[in-house]
Amino acid sequence: MAPDDTADENASYRYLSTRGQDSGFSFEEVVLNSVAPDGGLYIPEEIPRATAWESWGDLSFPELAFEIMSLYISPSEIPPADLKDIIARSYSSFRSPEVTPLVQLKENHYLLELFHGPTFASKDIASQFLGNLLEYFLVKKNKGKTSIAGGHGTLYGHRDSLILYDEFFLADRHRLTFVGATKGDAGSAAVHGLRGKRDISVFVMFPQAQISPVQEAQITTVPDENVCSLAVAGTFDDCQNILRRLQADRQANEDFDLVSSRNWAQILAQIVLYFYSYFSLVKKSASFKTGDKVRFVIPTGKFGSILAGYFALHMGLPVDKLVIATNENDILDRFWKTGRYEKQRVGRGGHGVKKTLSPAMDILTSYNFERLLWFLACEFASSAGMDHLWNQNQASQEVYQWFQDLDKKGVFGPVYRDVIRSARRDFESERVTDQQTIETIKAVYRKSGYVLDPHSAVGAAATQRSMNRTHANTPHISFSTAHPAKFSETVIRALHGEDGFSIVETSLTPAELADLDKREKKITVVNNDWQKVREIINARNSN
């Protein structure tokens, strides 16, 4: 870390780990390392108050993103002109001029459409920004570099995937190698965020013939040289095992410091959504004024988008509640009800993920939840009346202990009553079954003609319950996280035989997605063998 990074007096420019007592990390370290050396996740030392937020109402999406991100990134690390450029490039890839348009479904229920990016799903919001940010830091590091001694490296990872930031394969330049295993959405968003980026190479593994045709095409038809798609002759679990073996192999070599992904920049990018949709609502609604409260309802898997809402709330945005919407993989919903965080058991004593109609939310644990827990634990610690540093250390110790328990026993909690109380002050939670998902797609189509994808339908179902509780007086914004054409099988199953749907169906698939079929696919088929994958990575990286 450059010494001048610590000189910033602004605590929200500096980062700490949720599990350790290390602090003072720079934004660049946070982005390039992804996970802290102690295994914890990075969070800003303080959540900044957005004192000028009410004056942001007329800003465009990129302008608003700049204001928000500037509260978390020191101008000495990324000069304002550079940050503006990174943001502009990230969101010019979206098809809608508003980037994320807000549409009204009915009175007091609005949908924030997050699927106008390159892969037609919400992960583009974070992945497009992250790709440009990584490239920016690499280009900066490589400026004037001719040679560096090899052998040491740190790792950057993304979702069910890994990125190696290393000097192992190429001795003369800093370079990122991204290796990922995907069931679909996360992998395609990563490919489209990293394609064509300098000094980054991308390897995405998917189970051969087992992901949806649209998702496969999105991963395999990009022409860029730095992207390699690997169809593994095996299951998704096999892909994840290969990833783990690569990790173990590198650790054995002590050349690498591998961790899986959880990048803070992905949360940061999504804070913008809350402010932006709030101001869109002010513009769209005759009765809603700046300063009024709104409820957000978020379909959730890894607690990413919704965690960004917690930051927006504590920055000062008038949020009544953040409503968690889970599918039958409901570890979060159960936490809010019981205060216990416990991995789901499937079958006899085994742990397992349940396959649902909203697969991007099929998770066993929600890793970003750790970040929320830290803030809740810190708030609890502050009631002891000690100084802030003591509270922070206390919170990190608490989180460390909880996750030790989770590792050993598959469960922690119940947590302190005050911690649950704070969690319930800011959040409510709903669990939506597959059957309710189908019924919601049907009901919304019948009432408004709007076609929801299954993930967005989980959010819409949770919204309806929240509206019933609040007597529909509070406006609700629910996130629409994927284009229905990406999950057309479920949508067609729900709407088959509905009035007029045959006409809607023929226009359901956007030209960009229909077109994918005709493009040339670049696929490397590989045996279910981690050493073969390693050979491919080595061979391509040494070219």
Ligand X SMILES: *Cc1c(COP(=O)(O)O)cnc(C)c1O
Binding-site string for ligand X from residue 412 to residue 451, where x marks contact by CB under 6 A and - marks none: ----------------------------------------
* Binding-site size, ligand X (CB under 6 A): 16
304 binds ligand X per the rule CB under 6 A = yes
Among 84, 106, 123, 183, which one carries the catalytic annotation? 123
DSSP string, 290-337: TT--EEEEEE-SSSHHHHHHHHHHHHT--EEEEEEEE-S--HHHHHHH
63 vs 522: CA distance, rounded Å: 37
From 14-22, 202-210, 300-308, 495-503, span contacting ligand X (CB under 6 A): 300-308
Residue written as token pair 């696929």:
523
Residues 180 to 209 in contact with ligand X, rule: CB under 6 A: 185
CB of 482 to ligand X, least distance (A): 4
Among 260, 267, 365, 266, residue whose Cα is nearest residue 307: 267
Token pair in block for residue 210: 């087992």
302 binds ligand X per the rule CB under 6 A = yes
172 vs 14: CA distance, rounded Å: 30
240 vs 242: CA distance, rounded Å: 5
Token pair in block for residue 375: 């803030």
The burial of 528, by beta-carbon neighbours within 10 Å (0-12 exposed, 13-18 middle, 19 or more buried), is given as: middle
CB of 408 to ligand X, least distance (A): 25
Would you say 247 or 305 has its CB closer to ligand X? 305
Would you say 68 or 121 has its CB closer to ligand X? 121
**123 classed as catalytic:** yes
CB of 527 to ligand X, least distance (A): 29
Q: Residue from 33, 305, 391, 436 that binds ligand X (CB under 6 A)?
A: 305
Among 224, 240, 221, 179, residue whose Cα is nearest residue 204: 179
274 binds ligand X per the rule CB under 6 A = no
State whether residue 437 is helix, strand or coil.
Answer: helix
From 116-124, 146-154, 491-499, 502-510, span contacting ligand X (CB under 6 A): 116-124
Would you say 99 or 138 has its CB closer to ligand X? 99
From 25-33, 44-52, 115-123, 174-182, span contacting ligand X (CB under 6 A): 115-123
From 117-125, 129-137, 225-233, 438-446, span contacting ligand X (CB under 6 A): 117-125
Q: Residue from 455, 466, 477, 501 that binds ligand X (CB under 6 A)?
A: 455
Tell me if 242 sits within 8 A of 205, measured CB to CB.
yes
Binding-site string for ligand X from residue 480 to residue 519, where x marks contact by CB under 6 A and - marks none: -xx-------------------------------------
122 binds ligand X per the rule CB under 6 A = yes
303 binds ligand X per the rule CB under 6 A = yes
DSSP string, 242-299: HHHHHHHHHHHHTS--------HHHHHHHHHHHHHHHHHHHHH-SS--TT--EEEEEE
121 vs 452: CA distance, rounded Å: 12
Amino acid residing at 206: F
Enter the DSSP assignment of 13.
G
Would you say 122 or 464 has its CB closer to ligand X? 122
From 149-157, 190-198, 296-304, 527-535, span contacting ligand X (CB under 6 A): 296-304
Residue nearest to ligand X (CB): 304
Tell me if 106 sits within 8 A of 205, measured CB to CB.
no
299 binds ligand X per the rule CB under 6 A = yes
301 binds ligand X per the rule CB under 6 A = yes
Residues 343 to 372 in contact with ligand X, rule: CB under 6 A: 360-361
DSSP string, 43-109: EESSPPP-TTGGGGTT--HHHHHHHHHHTTS-TTTS-HHHHHHHHHHHHTTSSSTTSS-EEEEETTE
Residues known to be catalytic: 123
Instruction: Please give the residue ranges that form the binding site for ligand X (CB under 6 A).
Output: 121-123, 185, 299-305, 360-361, 455, 481-482
